[in-house]
A and B are shown apart, each in its own frame.
Chain A
């Protein structure tokens, strides 16, 4: 057989590595800022674009898409050509992929702090950037799949299967979750409403964790651990079972994010069952990774790369054990909405994702620059600082989670809530927040050592851009009839394929109608928002209020006592997007407007609280939002918003958009008059009044018609 010579190009691997390093530091620094803002709520001063709720998406997106994303792209561009003995198909596509991805990251960082967001966690990007994401993802996919087709090695190594699963699933999830109707260049409303939107979002959200933060990193594990330890994976067969079992189970687990919500019970149960089953393949993978190092533990003692990998894979095992446990309804009743979730995800990111990235880069940079690691000692120091940082981050938050959940649920002997004031349960856990910030600081220090070390390593070596390799040519394909010719000879298969094609077309037409229809309310008292409330809702989204305040009261006595009647699916039918939230740093707001409930607050309280929360409740950790009293709502867009909502199935009367602004002004004047009688002067069209109108509406439909 003919032997062919070819060349690997390391340029893009190198680029992706430095992007990983740079964005990683940015993501961690923003995270540390957030941790500090929770202790010192007014750390951001009165700078709107530094407030907790606006930069929290910057942190999560930077960690996920910039740090982990660039990291596994580096892994793919390095490992795939070598595994397949074929250079990447196209340099041009590779360059577009690299620069396009960095552009997306920059655009995200330029939009979130200024309130441009879709509010769906890890899918906050506004619609024009979403379109760009899809284009770049397709470019990446083309480059990858053509390389696979051109391969010289017949066998597709297990790591590549993980890369393929990543691409396919993220493409489907991202598109389905981001289907939205644009209103302006920066604003769109999702086509789903309320509980349906929540289900789509968490189906996406869970699988973003599964297929962006897990499968590509597993591919990385199956390539770089054997390479770094110079021994084959413990069981190749197990790795194949790991792959297929994992991908078939993962995609059904999403509903575990909505336990005890208004989601139907059977869907919740389905999510739980699949989540529990996931332990098996996940632990199979963890054991496979760790046992690869059997007989090489002496190397682990010396080599910082292997140390990083060992802690990374162990954290994978911990997180994938904890995940199914958190999916059990009894555990979830306690953990949901608390810091327990935050601890859990940081075992995954600080432990699994980051350690795998660090290990890979410590191994790869000396190779790419034909030198030795600048300082193994420094890398070992980084390892210990990072491991301690992760523990100091997560363990206090576990305690914070248990403590707060138990305080929420505590009743006195007389049958009253033991801690009726939500703030008490926050001040109780503040010491844990200090420890978390300390852990985060350690982690950032470790990352700085890492960057210095990697930089020095690159500086002392010289970049090896091209590497030559040779392999036997791919066996020429047997001449065969065209696919279609063969298909024609098989009427049954042909019919099935045709049916599938028709079904896809049909679904595209039917689904939107079906969705609009099913959004028709099942609770007659529930009415669409007034124009002012709708504007207020958009302010609520832009400021990121939902990141600390849930709007989902679970059917537990302690929650109904504290917040009022539990949330029903029929109440949410006009909510594009849903705003259930996933964390209660502050109290739930689903019934904020109901006057008969103990936590009701008048308009003037809301006004003062928004301008300066500590003036109203001195120990509050909510930041101030003084700019809400200055910023104005854009009335020119209001009619378009009404029209868009009607297109999505919200029953505004025909022609209502023409009188929407008048309606808005009338309601505005009413509230402004009320505020004036409390001694508060407010100008025209201020965001704060719209927000108050929205908050006072929450929950009232159900209560006033009881």
Chain B
């Protein structure tokens, strides 16, 4: 039944990964605010893009002008 040892080790490794995730989440302040995240997701103020006229869903080339341009993190 040596395989059970392996499964326990794999289980502990996975659990440890989650534990690290948990400690990170607490330390980095993920859970400091336990209310507003649940409300924030309800606010959708995004608008339909102007470039939706092209009905060709398969084509990837009808990307709007500003697509990804501002997507990079800038330090300005």
A169 near B14: Cβ-Cβ < 8 Å: yes
A257 within 8 A of B: no
A301 within 8 A of B: no
B2 near A515: Cβ-Cβ < 8 Å: yes
A414 within 8 A of B: no
A312 within 8 A of B: no
Residues B1-41 near A (CB distance < 8 A): 1-4, 6-7, 9-11, 13-15, 17-18, 21-22, 25, 29-31, 33-35, 37-41
Q: How far is the CB of B72 from chain A (nearest CB, A)?
A: 9
In the complex, which residues of chain A have a beta carbon less than 8 angstroms from the beta carbon of B1? 195-196, 199, 263-264, 267, 518, 569
In whole angstroms, how far apart are the Cα atoms of A158 and B11 in the complex? Answer: 23
In the complex, which residues of chain A have a beta carbon less than 8 angstroms from the beta carbon of B52? 462-466
Which one of A29-37, A236-244, A322-330, A341-349 is at the B interface? Answer: A236-244
Q: Give which listed residue, A155, A462, A476, contacts B33 with CB less than 8 A.
A: A155
Q: How far is the CB of B21 from chain A (nearest CB, A)?
A: 7
In the complex, which residues of chain A have a beta carbon less than 8 angstroms from the beta carbon of B57? 11, 14, 463, 465
Q: Known interface pairs A251-B11, A467-B48. Does A233 touch B55 (Cβ–Cβ under 8 Å)? A: no
A476 near B67: Cβ-Cβ < 8 Å: no
Q: Give which listed residue, A86, A227, A476, A511, contacts B41 with CB less than 8 A.
A: A227
B66 near A5: Cβ-Cβ < 8 Å: yes
In whole angstroms, how far apart are the Cα atoms of A518 and B4 in the complex? Answer: 12
A7 near B48: Cβ-Cβ < 8 Å: no
For A569, the closest partner residue in chain B by CB is: B1
Q: Known interface pairs A157-B41, A469-B45. Does A474 touch B73 (Cβ–Cβ under 8 Å)? A: yes
In whole angstroms, how far apart are the Cα atoms of A511 and B7 in the complex? Answer: 11
Q: How far is the CB of B19 from chain A (nearest CB, A)?
A: 8
A514 near B2: Cβ-Cβ < 8 Å: yes
In whole angstroms, how far apart are the Cα atoms of A648 and B21 in the complex? Answer: 37
In whole angstroms, how far apart are the Cα atoms of A104 and B40 in the complex? Answer: 37
In whole angstroms, how far apart are the Cα atoms of A176 and B10 in the complex? Answer: 9
In whole angstroms, how far apart are the Cα atoms of A7 and B66 in the complex? Answer: 8
B14 near A476: Cβ-Cβ < 8 Å: no
Residues A156-197 near B (CB distance < 8 A): 156-158, 161, 164-165, 168-169, 172, 176, 192, 195-196
In whole angstroms, how far apart are the Cα atoms of A199 and B2 in the complex? Answer: 11
In whole angstroms, how far apart are the Cα atoms of A195 and B1 in the complex? Answer: 8
B41 near A172: Cβ-Cβ < 8 Å: no
In the complex, which residues of chain B have a beta carbon less than 8 angstroms from the beta carbon of A247? 18
Q: How large is the interface on A (under 10, 10 to 19, 20 to 34, 35 or more residues)?
A: 35 or more
B30 near A230: Cβ-Cβ < 8 Å: no
In whole angstroms, how far apart are the Cα atoms of A37 and B26 in the complex? Answer: 54
A316 within 8 A of B: no
**Interface flags, B38-58, vs A, CB<8A=1, else 0:** 111110111111011001010
Q: How far is the CB of A10 from chain B (nearest CB, A)?
A: 9
B71 near A6: Cβ-Cβ < 8 Å: yes
In whole angstroms, how far apart are the Cα atoms of A247 and B14 in the complex? Answer: 10
For B25, the closest partner residue in chain A by CB is: A156
A87 near B68: Cβ-Cβ < 8 Å: yes
In whole angstroms, how far apart are the Cα atoms of A514 and B70 in the complex? Answer: 54
Q: Give which listed residue, A226, A267, A468, A514, contacts B42 with CB less than 8 A.
A: A226
Q: Give which listed residue, B7, B49, B62, contacts A200 with CB less than 8 A.
A: B7
Q: How far is the CB of A312 from chain B (nearest CB, A)?
A: 19
A87 near B71: Cβ-Cβ < 8 Å: yes
A8 within 8 A of B: yes
B30 near A164: Cβ-Cβ < 8 Å: no
B9 near A507: Cβ-Cβ < 8 Å: yes
Q: How far is the CB of A21 from chain B (nearest CB, A)?
A: 16
Residues A205-262 near B (CB distance < 8 A): 223, 226-227, 230-233, 236-237, 239-240, 244, 247-248, 251-252
Q: How far is the CB of B70 from chain A (nearest CB, A)?
A: 5
Q: Known interface pairs A7-B64, A468-B49. Does A473 touch B38 (Cβ–Cβ under 8 Å)? A: no
B49 near A466: Cβ-Cβ < 8 Å: yes
Q: Known interface pairs A7-B66, A11-B57, A226-B41. Does A473 touch B74 (Cβ–Cβ under 8 Å)? A: yes
In whole angstroms, how far apart are the Cα atoms of A158 and B10 in the complex? Answer: 25
In the complex, which residues of chain A have a beta carbon less than 8 angstroms from the beta carbon of B51? 465-466
A156 near B34: Cβ-Cβ < 8 Å: no
In whole angstroms, how far apart are the Cα atoms of A515 and B1 in the complex? Answer: 9
In the complex, which residues of chain A have a beta carbon less than 8 angstroms from the beta carbon of B47? 467-469
Q: How far is the CB of B58 from chain A (nearest CB, A)?
A: 9
Q: Give which listed residue, A14, A165, A236, A465, contacts B37 with CB less than 8 A.
A: A236
Q: Known interface pairs A2-B74, A176-B10, A465-B52. Does A155 touch B30 (Cβ–Cβ under 8 Å)? A: yes
Apart from A156-B25, A233-B38, what are 19 other A-B pairs with CB-CB below 8 Å? A4-B70, A6-B71, A7-B49, A7-B63, A82-B44, A91-B60, A157-B41, A158-B37, A172-B14, A196-B2, A226-B41, A263-B1, A465-B52, A466-B67, A467-B46, A468-B49, A468-B64, A468-B66, A518-B3
Q: List 16 A-B contacts (CB under 8 A).
A: A7-B49, A7-B63, A7-B64, A7-B67, A8-B46, A14-B57, A86-B71, A176-B7, A226-B38, A251-B15, A463-B52, A465-B52, A465-B57, A468-B47, A474-B73, A514-B6
**Contact surface of B with A, Cβ cutoff 8 Å:** 1-4, 6-7, 9-11, 13-15, 17-18, 21-22, 25, 29-31, 33-35, 37-42, 44-49, 51-52, 55, 57, 60, 62-64, 66-68, 70-71, 73-76
